[in-house]
């Protein structure tokens, strides 16, 4: 990530993001398990869970000076996609990309990673 990335007030992950660290992660777990883990992890990180909608596969949460939405969707029998959208009102503040990276790294430790964006990482 470059210096200008730290000043972004909006970060959204997707399959083809130019920054690999911000590409959608696919894990081998059920959406329910991922949502439960995310809720607990958010609280462990000292952030506030505002809403969990299991029907839509969403967790809305916020930290100091920013808010986020995590989307968890089962795309096939063994793969669940996890995406994040983060926003910050102020130009200066926490590095939103680093927040996403922190969650993705913890997700990789908890659940077997199946793919990053369009590239499989299965062994």
Unique residue bearing structure tokens 């991922």: 34
Indicate whether 75 belongs to any domain: yes
Answer whether residue 103 is part of any domain.
Answer: yes
For the segment 90-112, what is each residue's pLDDT rounded down to a tens digit?
888 889 999 999 999 999 999 98
Q: Residue 121 — very low, low, confident or very high, per pLDDT cuts 50/70/90?
A: confident
The answer to whether the CB of 78 falls within 8 A of the CB of 33 is no
Tally of domains within the chain: 1
Residue 39 included in any domain = yes
Which CATH number characterizes residue 72's domain?
3.30.310.80
What pLDDT digit, counting tens, does each position of 5-64 carry?
677 899 999 999 999 899 999 999 999 999 999 999 999 999 999 999 999 999 999 999
Give the pTM: 0.90
Assess if residue 16 is contained within a domain. Answer: yes
118 part of a folded domain: no
Per the domain annotation, does 44 fall within a domain? Answer: yes
Q: Is residue 53 within 8 Å of 31, Cβ to Cβ?
A: no
At 66 the pLDDT is 95
Residue 122 domain-assigned? no
Alpha carbon distance 35, 99 (integer Å): 17
* Residue 50 domain flag: yes
pLDDT digits (tens, 9 = 90+) for 60-101: 999 999 999 999 999 987 789 999 999 998 888 889 999 999
Residue with tokens 């926490």: 94
**Residue numbers of the domain that contains 83:** 4-113
């Amino acid at each position: 990530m470059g210096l200008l990335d730290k000043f972004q007030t909006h970060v959204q992950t997707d399959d083809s993001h130019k920054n690999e660290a911000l590409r959608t992660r696919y894990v081998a777990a059920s959406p329910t398990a991922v949502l439960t883990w995310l809720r607990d992890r958010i609280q462990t990180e000292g952030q506030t869970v505002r809403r969990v909608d299991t029907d839509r596969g969403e967790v809305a949460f916020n930290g100091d000076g920013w808010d986020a939405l995590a989307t968890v969707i089962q795309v096939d029998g063994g793969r669940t996609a996890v995406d994040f959208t983060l926003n910050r009102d102020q130009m200066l503040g926490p590095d939103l990309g680093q927040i996403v990276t922190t969650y993705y790294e913890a997700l990789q430790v908890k659940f077997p990673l199946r793919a990053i964006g369009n590239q499989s990482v299965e062994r």
